[in-house]
Structure 1
Amino acid sequence: MAFHTRSNSFPSRPHPVLQEVDELLCRLRSSEATSASSSSISHKLSGLQDLHDCVDRLLQLPLTQQALAQVQNEKWANELLDGSLRLLDVSSSAKDAILQTKECVQDLQSIIRRRGGETGLTSEVRKYLTSRKMVKKAIQKAMKNLKGTENRSTFSSLNKDDETFSVVSKLREVEAITLAVFESLLSFISGPKSQPSSWSLVSKMMQSKKVVCEEATEINEFAEVDAALNSLIRHKASKPSADDAHNQLDQLKSCIQDQEEALECLFRQMIKTRVSLLNILNH
């Protein structure tokens, strides 16, 4: 929903915090078109943290608090609270998916380090791949829940020239862009929906390092590990395939570390923002 930066009730010049929120929203919207690489997603998560920090500062403004304190329609107020809780739920789903994968990666790396190319290693690899399937199912469920939140009311009972409408619209925009980034993150962790067979991925990985950018962006760190581990099973845990899998796991671990830290910071900031919103609406 478009945000009316100026209204009859707001000053002719928007508050600097409002302008900053708008700028951060624009940056995140423009970044939606970028490739879903690990670095781009980490950048988006960092941008979301800045956005929610800015929103919290917006909620501290007397003008904002006065606007939201004039609750004349409990439905939109409850929707704002439900929306902030929804963001925390989705964030928790992403954190759980990353944590579960991280633990499996660490265990598998330790086993590969100890056992090298032993035949018995394939059973441990299959355990990891089974765990990945469970993570993907959980992500699919979370994504389905996201899709179920699109048809929400437009709080039409509010006067569009009123500051309350402006603030509520702004908070809804923030919620929408946050959900969009989380959707990108969950899709990245899950891997491409219609990716080629594991053997095709392995073939690409084994080609010359002079890979064109279009091909490189088709595979993310999670998909690369899945392909390397399938190769490990196919070659009956040979030493070269075990070494390749270990290297791919190293890259994935670094990717997970960056996203885990960014998610944790964002999660704490969203809790802080929700508390501020609760204090205003329940005042």
Structure 2
Amino acid sequence: MAYHTRSNSFPSRPHPIIQEVDEHLCRLSSSESTSTSSSSISNKLNGLQDLLYCVDRLLQLQGTQQALAQEQQQKWANELLDGCLRLLDICSTAQDALSQTKECIQDLQSIIRRKWGGETGLTNEVRKYLSSRKMVKKSIHKAMGNLKGMKNRSTFSSANKDQETIAIVSKLRDVEAVSLTIFESVLSFISGPKSKPSSWSLVSKMVQSKRIACDEEAKVNEFAEVDAALKSLKSADNAQNQLSNLESCIQDQEEGLESLFRQLIKTRVSLLNILNH
């Protein structure tokens, strides 16, 4: 009796890693419509890192490597590689924006701790911060344009009738799409809402009512809070509190983005190894 053995490729039932990828995709997709508070953004970054970790495991499977290494599929493999590089660029833009903002925050905090350092000194630092924010928003606006261009790329189709190959490439494209959406949320959060609050008191009341209303994620943007507070500065103590909150927020997001950056590099290396095999 002849026995037919399968290679270490995907069986008829979905591989456990593919199921795990699907679960992460589902969780991240369902979170897209929820609050875009700092804690929500941090959770999305952590969730995306978990997803990309699963993707890297998926790329180590022989079935995945065989599918992407096929000559007729290398176009899509190269597109995935290009998409990974673009995600690295967007991640780097977000990191630079956070770093630049944190540096200005620390300068402002230093002035305030020195009992204002003179009205002129504080005014100059506030102007420096607001000017830096304009530069950050300009950089983010450009990155958002590139991001939208990636979203408008052609959808996956293949002349190859191998359903396993089609499923693998389509799944990786789904991962890229979710990654783009999350990075879009991160960049939008750093940039702040387009509508400008009329006064600091209005923002303060909104923040307090949100915090009192529920313990879950409130739609509070720490960047917008500080922007509004500095444009109508009334209390050094209040400004210091807002700056401290924003610095803590930036620290959390920097850690999340740094982990994501490293994971994206690993993913890109895995794709390169497959193409160069």
How far, CA to CA, are the matches of 2:101 and 2:80 in structure 1?
32
Code of the aligned partner of 1:43: N
Distance in 1 between the 2:82 and 2:254 partners? 25
* 1:56 and 2:56 matched: yes
Matched, 1:100 2:96: no
Matches of 1:165 and 1:271, distance apart in 2 = 24
Alpha-carbon separation, structure 1, partners of 2:19 and 2:206: 48
Given residue 185 of structure 1, which amino acid in structure 2 is its aligned partner?
V
State whether residues 160 and 166 of structure 1, in contact with CA within 8 Å, keep that contact through their aligned partners in structure 2.
Answer: no
Judge conservation of contact 2:156–2:170 (CA < 8 Å) in 1.
no
Of residues 75-84 and 36-45 in structure 1, the stretch that sits farther from structure 2 once superposed is 75-84
Match of 2:22 in 1: 22
Does residue 228 in structure 1 map to residue 229 in structure 2? yes
Which of 260, 266, 270 does residue 264 from structure 2 map onto?
270
**Closer, same or farther: CA 126–164 of 1 in aligned 2, 3 Å:** same
Residues 165 and 158 (structure 1 numbering): CA distance in 2 closer, same or farther, change over 3 Å?
farther
Deviations 1:29-57 (A, max 9, x none): 00101110000010000000000000000
Kindly indicate whether the alpha-carbon contact (under 8 Å) linking 1:56 and 1:276 is maintained by their aligned counterparts in 2: yes
Candidates 245, 263, 275, aligned match of 2:239: 245
Larger CA deviation: 54-63 vs 119-128: 119-128
Q: 1:180: Cα distance to partner?
A: 0.3
Tell me the alpha carbon deviations over residues 76-124 of structure 1, each in whole angstroms, 9 at most, x when there is no partner. 2221111111111111111111111111111111111113273111121
Mark the runs of 5 or more structure 2 residues left unpaired by the alignment.
Answer: 1-8
The answer (yes or no) to whether the contact 1:83–1:175 under 8 Å persists in 2 is yes
Deviations 1:158-182 (Å, cap 9, x if unpaired)?
3354322111111111010001000
RMSD: 2.0
Other structure's SS at 1:11 match: coil
Task: For 1:210 and 1:77, locate their aligned partners in 2 and report how far apart those are by CA, in whole Å.
Answer: 49
Matched letter for residue 47 of structure 2: G
Assess if the C-alpha contact under 8 Å between 2:140 and 2:191 holds in 1: yes
Q: For the structure 1 residues 155 and 207, does the alpha-carbon distance in structure 2 shift closer, same or farther, using more than 3 Å as the test?
A: closer
Corresponding residue number in structure 1 for 2:171:
170
Greater CA drift, 152-161 or 181-190: 152-161
Q: Which runs of 5+ in 1 are unaligned?
A: 1-8, 236-240
- The equivalent residue for 1:45 is 45
Contact 1:202 / 1:227 at 8 angstroms: preserved in 2?
Answer: no
Letter in 2 for 1:84: C
Distance of 1:188 and 1:23 partners within structure 2:
25
Deviation at 1:13, TM superposition (A): 1.8
Query: For each residue in 1:137-157, what CA deviation from the matched residue of structure 2 results, as whole angstroms up to 9, or x when unmatched?
Result: 110110011111223223423
Q: How far apart, in 2, do the equivalents of 1:157 and 1:30 lie? A: 28
Equivalents in 1 of 2:209, 2:163: separation in Å?
Answer: 58
- Secondary structure of 1:193's aligned partner: coil
Alignment of 1:1-283 (within 5 A): 10-116=10-116, 118-120=118-120, 121-159=122-160, 161-197=162-198, 199=199, 201-205=200-204, 209-211=208-210, 213=213, 217-232=218-233, 235=234, 241-283=235-277
Residue 3 (structure 2) aligns with: none
For this pair of structures, how many residues does the alignment match? 265
Per-residue Cα deviation, 1:61-86 (whole angstroms, up to 9, x for no partner) = 11111111112144322211111111
Q: Taking structure 2 as the reference length, what is the TM-score of the superposition?
A: 0.89
Counterpart CA distance in 2 for 1:147 and 1:27 is 22
Q: In 2, distance between residues paired with 1:194 and 1:35? A: 17
| Paired residue secondary structure (2:34) | coil
Aligned-pair identity in percent equals 71
CA distance in 2, matches of 1:184, 1:208: 20
